[in-house]
Structure 1
Amino acid sequence: MRPADPPRSGPSRVEHDLLGDRDVPAPALYGVHTLRATENFDVTGIPLGARPRLVEALAAVKQAAAVVNADLGLVTREQADAIVAACTEIRSGRWHDHFVVDVIQGGAGTSTNMNANEVVANRALELLGRERGDYRVLHPLEHVNRSQSTNDVYPTALKIALAVSIDDLVTALRALAAEFAARAAEFADILKVGRTQLQDAVPMTLGQEFATFAVMLGEDADRLGETKALIAEINLGGTAIGTGITTHPEYAARACAALREITGLPLTTAVNLVEATQDVGAFVQVSGVLKRTAVKLSKICNDLRLLSSGPRAGLGEISLPAVQAGSSIMPGKVNPVIPELVNQIAFRVVGNDVTVSMAAEAGQLQLNAFEPVIAESLHGMTADLTAGCDTLRRRCVSGITANTDVLAESLDRSLALVTALSPHIGYEAATDVAHRALSTGRPVTEIVVERTHLTRERLADILVPARLVAPVLLDLPVPGPAR
């Protein structure tokens, strides 16, 4: 939904920037810089306020800066207290609707930083008993943005927001993995045909199949957790290009410590702030792990759709919960809409990863100007994957059931048993059994008893489920040397 155009009539206040005077709506907490940005960047229709993690992270940075600036005597204690109070309100979820700049913008995020400065300043003025726009008392740039630049504020806020979003995604992934593990325990003793290249391979249990999904997702949760170490290093205090111009010598270290206390994150100041200001490699790494997660989720959903295909003309080994009618023309049809949803989320994540890669590569000299599209891509990826995992868990995996009759019949008719019998009857005899079973349609077990030395009793002993799905010691004679 596009943000509403600023009203052209009604109460207003006059604000000034380097381009001249503009009427700003009186009720707005934002100011002239934000107003111009809404006119210049009317692209996605997604305002900053729709990305609450980023808005709250920006407020955390402004709060930390105010505390340190006051300690260093760069702003008054009264100004700092008002800024801190305004930031605390924003971090609690208030005033997000005044963050109206489009998430995709030119200027390396300058409009985002300006929007934050103006909202904080005007709310702080109100808390001081002043009118919005009375910047003689407290100014968006002179006071709220003191010791800062967009080029250290924006990436720092992005990293803080990402850390919180990654935590959300890891929680969702682990919950989904736990649901798959629950199905694995439920299906632990149900034998089925394992397949490679869509062809019958060897026996396994349905529980093993679902346990694999749980392990895959658990691994990705671990990898995502590791990426948080990469984004814990910030360049706050580097200002424009990392040299720290306009800051106090103690500012960077103190601001990082204040931000650690505010956010609870293990943030550290980069060793080389010039490098840290231009390098977005950490975002590329995070994006790559998010893509890996999406690809594996999509593979799992492909399997769920294939295993549930039918119900009569496909594999039909499992049934997914029916959540809606599947066709406007075919009565009774039910589609695997939840896995299809997650597939599409994965496709978009992969596309966003390409966007992040291109934006990172396009950086020039001392700054990457394309961090807004990196930010939007990464936040979209984490939000979509988190929602996808939650939906897949609640609306699909929790209600999956096994079609045991279909599984048993498929196993009995397949050639998957031949591999288990090969050590007992020899490869050549096993191949002969496989060919005859395939050409006649008869069960493998009947042909084995008929054409080999194995009795039904011995066959039943060999085909015990526990021996079919795990390594076992074979009670076989050791072959002598070839003659």
Structure 2
Amino acid sequence: MAAVKTVYRSEHDSIGERSVPKDVYYGVQSLRAAENFHITGLTMHPEIINSIAEIKKASAITNYEIGLLDKRVADAIVRACDEIAAGKLHEAFIVDPIQGGAGTSLNMNANEVIANRAIELLGGEKGDYALVNPNDHVNYGQSTNDVFPSAGKMAVLKLLIRAQIQLERLYAALTQKAEEFDGVIKMGRTQMQDAVPIRLGQEFRAYSEAIRRDIVRLERAQDEMRCLNMGGTAIGTGINADEQYLRRIVPNLSKVTGLRLIQAFDLIDATQNLDEFVAVSGAVKTCAVNLSKMCNDLRLLSSGPRCGFNEINLPPRQNGSSIMPGKVNPVIPEVVNQVAFHIIGGDMTVTMAAEAGQLELNAFEPIIFYHLIQSVETLTYAVHTLVDNCIVGITANAARCKAMVDNSVGIITALCPHIGYEAAADLAKRAIETGGSVKDLILEEGVLDEETLEKILDPYSMTEPGISAKELLER
């Protein structure tokens, strides 16, 4: 069978002439960028593509409103942008997420795709830029330096909203488990050594409180992403942007997206400084740290089942070994741990890239968006699987927890206010040496009577604050 011959169209840019496949929506500048930056083997995240299409749509609407763009051209651009935001033509966005040029490659990829689709809608042939020009029409009143960071912020904002939804589900699941396990008494541990009793429900309540704080941080992070430098064009001075465009572009963008967006008070500051991304990355990293610590605990508490803590049971999700029959591993907490490590590493990249900016522009936004979007998205997926495949199915081994409390030396801490630290420490040492119980040793030596001892060593009472000063004075 004969090979299908590719037909080309000729395009040019300031570098020179190039042949571009006739039927593709991208143009010469996209092609050069794809050749120059084959870094990850990936293409742009869909939300970045959707967000830049929304910016181009809002710009076309604004330029038409103020009389700077013909209605037919503006309508064609808007229709092309709507198609992209609906998920079409994404295959025409061929540039790598990591690219030199501070995002110019993506901006021109979008300009070319939108222009060629608009040309088609107007009855022309792709590449006939006399009808709709990527720079003069689609990019009118804009620069990569306000479009690209704004698209990045909008994409991150959308993903943060999704992440918050999953964190709220996790908070609810942990709160439910806190209530379910409130009556389960177990030993608390510090530095992996027996400490004093705690209720399993209290442990889960503490997890939920950490997640609640993370939700608050992500809400603040969303506000960091709402502030755009649209209208600032090249360096924030607004060169080539009409005064009316400058006033209308962000309100129109809010209408197009349905997002609450605001224009930066100082567009020069907003163009050159990327501290908002560092703040957002920090909030995501903090959440990852909390999740990973909690998952460490879940793996420890469920360890065993015969030779570990075995205080809780994680729902079995899959076989744990190709050689050891019946082994079931804590795979869900493990994958959350790995996502956390990934996020923590990405945070360092975001930090260094934001720091590396020079003068009026930071050229390293592409790597910031690449890592930050990955971090927010993987966090979202990790929390989703943690809730559905782990947290909601956790059960408590109440008898095992009680047995370890009854056999623990740590409960002797409650005796310190009554017999003194030194005497309590001596009793603890002897209980460990003999393997006997603290209670039996105290009764044998007549340190306290049985009624008083039972009252002091009531496990539930030891999980709540407060002792009676009056009773201590009476002793």
TM-score per shorter chain, which class? over 0.9
Q: Which of residues 10, 15, 38 is equivalent to 1:14? A: 10
Distance 1:276 1:314 in 2: 53
Alignment length (residue pairs): 472
DSSP 3-state at the match of 1:329: coil
Q: Which residues in structure 2 correspond to 1:52-451 (within 5 Å)?
A: 52-451=46-445
Distance 1:297 1:12 in 2: 52
Shift of the alpha carbon at 1:225? 0.5
What is the identity percentage for the equivalent residue pairs of Structure 1 and Structure 2? 50
For the 8 Å contact 2:274–2:354, the answer to whether it is kept is: yes
Please give the TM-score of this superposition, normalised by the length of structure 2.
0.96
1:89-109: CA deviations, max 9, x gaps? 211222212111110001100
Q: 1:42: which partner in 2? A: 38
1:132-176: CA deviations, max 9, x gaps? 222111111110000000000000111111111111111111111
For the 8 Å contact 1:425–1:452, the answer to whether it is kept is: no
1:255 counterpart letter in structure 2? I
DSSP 3-state at the match of 2:243: coil
Deviating beyond 4 angstroms after TM superposition, the runs of 4 or more aligned structure 1 residues are 475-480
2:31 counterpart letter in structure 1? L
Please give the TM-score of this superposition, normalised by the length of structure 1.
0.94
Shift of the alpha carbon at 1:351? 0.8
1:239 counterpart letter in structure 2? T
For the 8 Å contact 2:295–2:334, the answer to whether it is kept is: yes
For the 8 Å contact 2:417–2:472, the answer to whether it is kept is: no
DSSP 3-state at the match of 1:201: strand
- For the pair 1:467 / 2:467, whether they are aligned, the reply is no
Higher deviation after alignment, 232-241 or 118-127: 118-127
Q: Supply the RMSD in Å over aligned alpha carbons.
A: 1.7
Q: Which runs of 5+ in 1 are unaligned?
A: 1-6
2:43 counterpart letter in structure 1? P
Shift of the alpha carbon at 1:477? 4.2
Distance 1:367 1:21 in 2: 30
Shift of the alpha carbon at 1:463? 3.5
For the 8 Å contact 1:277–1:366, the answer to whether it is kept is: yes
Shift of the alpha carbon at 1:126? 2.0
1:54-73: CA deviations, max 9, x gaps? 11110111011001111121
For the 8 Å contact 2:418–2:472, the answer to whether it is kept is: no
DSSP 3-state at the match of 1:430: helix
2:19 counterpart letter in structure 1? D
For the 8 Å contact 1:424–1:476, the answer to whether it is kept is: no
Distance 1:26 1:173 in 2: 47
